[in-house]
């Protein structure tokens, strides 16, 4: 082990950047090269079929099974022109990853040979084994049938020699077994609700789209070092490891010069991503050593989620070519920043209006205020659910530390917007809606041009911050499927908008019956009245201060916000009557589907902690303690030799430090052995609990805390055991790319 550690560290120093072959075209020319987008549809489909497909994608028209064969023929021709031999239905089960089963195009030709075929039936539908994916009890081994069905709004794409068809995944009895089905339902719900509210201001609006721009943070480590860390290999994070003397405290990595090997990786990743239609825009060093970020231009939410899931898969493949492993765990290293996936979310109309952006007229700003406040209403009413949507065993390590938002959902609006809402709430006049856009700021340096200052600052401790024309949901974890957060957020906002419209319409009738006024004025006054009520109601969710402070935790509890920190308990919010009523009322998920998903969440939490406990126990007993006691034996031999060479008093004096180390090693290894035994017993007790819910709580309350206790002892041993003996690559070796 000693030789292995120094060998892999030495190899990391020797690695040179891999030469990346750059396409001859500009990025805009090869963007979408491997995607069956509208350009390819126009080329490979008959005109009438192309027009029907556009209607399906743009207007939600029903996909006609009779046109499936024509679409399949065109897709197959494009695919074979690009060397494709196989196809797969690509879907997102409840594993946080993606799934695919590859089939070739070949079929018997009836003459002893083979022919390549791809029918509309194969394009539209397949039958994966539903019992082999997490279902929360909806599917059993003897009830294995499930269906994947093509989602035409997300274009097919090519990976290597395989045609990938984005699909939904449902059970034989119709329940959703994936993230895409409820996501599409939530997008439909918010579209209908937001369009109805938009009609107060612009009757020509036909559609409202939910947009998402994710920011993907990740770590890179050398592949050899990764392979020498069983904890990284099996759990995605380091279960032990003392701080490096230098980590992020100098703030020199953030936005710093990108290391040469990393730049080569990023370059190839962007080429592959752009060919797959993922609109990569930004790349940079993040705060922690070896931490980086990639962000695209925003897209329609369903497509953005697909692209993020695809990118995470592509990242891993490309990284290995460059001698790296990608770490998407939210907290792979203790003591430094974790990784998030900030979800920049907004709503826009089919005529190009951003509904969370201020306008130029009082009426436009009233619309802006309505959508801001009703978004806050949804977040306020379901703040516990939104926390549950981003919570996991891995993200729990990140929240509330090192720039990550706390595990309390609140919204930062900034001074200007807060003042505007306060003004609407308190003013007795209706026509005082003024929201400034970017303002000029002149510096006292002639060479520097005038800067445009946004209407909000940034608050890094806010989980749900307004950033000028959108909200940034910062609490989402780096390895999570964005769909989980987007399902909850779009549903919460849709419900708030539906309730808003009901109350406004009811108020219009009352005002119209009391006053002889035009309908528009009655509507306008009704909107103002309901808006003022909602500004007061949702005020507890607004917080512009320091989300890390103890004072805020106490204040949040006083405001009635969800301050629970136990991951398994937080999941219970999905089954609150308010959550079930919202999801069922909007047609997003049934109670049965919600109960099943929670069973999966609790089981997944238990298994992740269980794996970590087993790995830590193995490393402790089979790696750390043997090495520590071996070093201890060397020190004992040294003390023994001292007493042979020197007089007793002199020998004791010279051996004093070694004796202290020997004693400390004995105490710490004994403690580790005892705690590992206790850890095993705690697991045994928890494993006997039949309820997945209660088992997860037991693992959280009894097993998980022991991991940190054992780690502290091991990390202290790392400081006193001879560096040449220590078996695992240390933080100082893992965190700095050579």
Backbone phi, then psi, for 139, in 5-degree steps? -120, 135
Report the alpha-carbon distance of residue 435 to residue 448 in Å, rounded.
27
> What pLDDT digit, counting tens, does each position of 67-86 carry?
999 999 999 999 999 999 99
Over residues 390-394, mean pLDDT: 96
Report the alpha-carbon distance of residue 113 to residue 712 in Å, rounded.
66
The confidence score (pLDDT) of residue 416 equals 87
Report the alpha-carbon distance of residue 45 to residue 417 in Å, rounded.
49
Residue 108 pairs with which residues in a beta bridge?
Answer: 114
Cβ atoms 147, 172 nearer than 8 A: yes
- Whether residue 8 is predicted with pLDDT greater than 90 in this model: the reply is no
Cβ atoms 714, 675 nearer than 8 A: no
Name the more confident of 244 and 402.
Answer: 244
Report the alpha-carbon distance of residue 271 to residue 151 in Å, rounded.
25
- Whether residue 221 is predicted with pLDDT greater than 50 in this model: the reply is yes
Tokens, residue 624 = 């750390």
Kindly provide the b/e burial profile for residues 230-261, where b requires at least 16 CB atoms within 10 angstroms of the residue's own CB. bbbeebbbbbbbbbbeebbeeeebeeeebbeb
Per-residue confidence at 347, pLDDT binned at 50, 70, 90?
very high
Closest CA to 100 of 60, 145, 159, 48: 159
Please provide the DSSP assignment of 531-581 as one string. HHHHHHHTGGGB--S-TTSHHHHHHHHHTT------HHHHGGGGGSHHHHH
Cβ atoms 259, 283 nearer than 8 A: no
Report the alpha-carbon distance of residue 478 to residue 333 in Å, rounded.
14
> What pLDDT digit, counting tens, does each position of 88-108 carry?
999 999 998 999 999 999 888
pTM over 0.75: yes
Name the more confident of 402 and 110.
Answer: 110
- Whether residue 458 is predicted with pLDDT greater than 80 in this model: the reply is no
- Whether residue 649 is predicted with pLDDT greater than 90 in this model: the reply is no
The confidence score (pLDDT) of residue 518 equals 61
- Whether residue 431 is predicted with pLDDT greater than 60 in this model: the reply is no
The confidence score (pLDDT) of residue 38 equals 95
């Amino acid at each position: 082990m000693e030789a292995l550690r120094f060998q892999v560290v030495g190899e990391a120093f020797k690695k040179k950047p891999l030469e990346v072959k750059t396409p001859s075209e500009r990025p805009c020319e090869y963007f979408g090269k491997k995607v069956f987008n509208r350009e390819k549809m126009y080329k490979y489909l008959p005109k009438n079929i192309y027009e029907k497909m556009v209607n399906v994608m743009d207007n939600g028209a029903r996909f006609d099974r009779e046109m499936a064969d024509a679409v399949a023929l065109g897709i197959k021709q494009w695919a074979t022109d690009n060397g494709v031999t196989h196809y797969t239905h690509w879907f997102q089960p409840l594993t946080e990853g993606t799934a695919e089963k590859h089939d070739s195009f070949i079929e018997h030709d009836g003459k002893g040979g083979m022919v390549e075929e791809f029918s509309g039936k194969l394009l539209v539908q397949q039958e994966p084994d539903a019992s082999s994916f997490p279902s929360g009890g909806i599917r059993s081994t003897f009830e294995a049938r499930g269906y994947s069905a093509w989602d035409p709004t997300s274009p097919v794409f090519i990976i290597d020699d395989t045609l990938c068809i984005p699909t939904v995944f449902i059970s034989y009895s119709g329940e959703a077994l994936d993230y895409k089905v409820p996501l599409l339902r939530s997008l439909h719900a918010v579209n209908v609700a937001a369009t109805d509210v938009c009609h107060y201001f612009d009757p020509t609006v036909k559609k409202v789209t939910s947009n998402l721009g994710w920011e993907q943070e990740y770590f890179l480590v050398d592949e050899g070092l990764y392979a020498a860390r069983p904890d990284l290999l099996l759990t995605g994070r380091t279960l032990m490891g003392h701080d490096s003397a230098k980590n992020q405290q100098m703030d020199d990595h953030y936005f710093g010069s990108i290391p040469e090997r990393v730049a080569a990786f990023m370059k190839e990743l962007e080429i592959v991503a752009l060919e797959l239609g993922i609109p990569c825009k930004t790349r940079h060093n993040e705060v922690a050593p070896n931490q980086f970020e990639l962000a695209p231009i925003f897209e329609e939410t369903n497509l953005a989620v697909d692209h993020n899931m695809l990118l995470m898969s592509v990242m891993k493949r490309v990284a290995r070519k460059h001698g790296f492993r990608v770490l998407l765990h939210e907290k792979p290293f203790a003591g430094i920043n974790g990784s998030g996936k900030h979800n920049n979310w907004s709503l826009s109309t089919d005529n190009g209006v951003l509904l969370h952006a201020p306008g130029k007229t009082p009426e436009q700003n009233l619309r802006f205020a309505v959508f801001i406040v009703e978004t806050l209403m949804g977040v306020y009413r379901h703040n516990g659910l939104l926390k549950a949507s981003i919570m996991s065993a891995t993200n729990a390590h990140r929240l509330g530390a090192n720039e990550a938002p706390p595990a309390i959902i609140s919204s930062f609006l900034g001074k200007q917007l807060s003042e505007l809402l306060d003004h609407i709430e308190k003013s007795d006049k209706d026509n005082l809606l003024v929201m400034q856009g970017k303002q000029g700021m002149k510096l006292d340096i002639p060479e520097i041009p005038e800067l445009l200052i946004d209407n909000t600052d940034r608050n890094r401790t806010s989980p749900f911050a307004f950033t000028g024309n959108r909200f940034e949901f910062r609490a989402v974890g780096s390895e999570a499927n964005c769909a989980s957060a987007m399902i909850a957020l779009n549903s919460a906002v849709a419900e708030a908008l539906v309730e808003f419209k009901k109350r406004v319409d009811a108020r219009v009738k009352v005002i119209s019956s009391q006053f002889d006024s035009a309908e528009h004025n009655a509507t306008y006054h009704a909107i103002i009245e309901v808006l003022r009520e909602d500004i007061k109601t949702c005020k507890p969710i607004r917080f512009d201060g320091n989300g890390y402070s103890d004072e805020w935790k106490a204040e949040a509890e006083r405001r009635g916000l969800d301050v629970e920190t136990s991951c398994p308990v937080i999941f219970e919010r999905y089954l609150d009557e308010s959550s079930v009523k919202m999801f069922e009322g909007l047609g997003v998920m049934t109670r049965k589907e919600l109960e099943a998903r929670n069973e999966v969440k609790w089981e997944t939490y238990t298994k992740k902690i269980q794996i970590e406990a087993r790995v830590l126990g193995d490393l402790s007993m089979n790696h750390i303690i043997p090495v520590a006691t071996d070093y201890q034996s060397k020190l004992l031999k040294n003390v023994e030799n001292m007493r042979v060479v020197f007089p007793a008093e002199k020998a004791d004096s010279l051996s004093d430090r070694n004796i202290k180390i020997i004693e400390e090693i004995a105490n710490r290894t004994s403690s580790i052995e005892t705690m590992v035994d206790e850890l095993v017993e705690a697991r045994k007790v928890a494993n006997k609990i039949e309820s997945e819910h209660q088992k997860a709580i037991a693992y959280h309350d009894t097993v998980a805390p022991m991991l940190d206790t054992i780690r502290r002892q091991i990390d202290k041993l790392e400081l006193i055991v001879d560096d040449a003996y220590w078996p695992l690559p240390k933080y100082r070796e893992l965190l700095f790319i050579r």
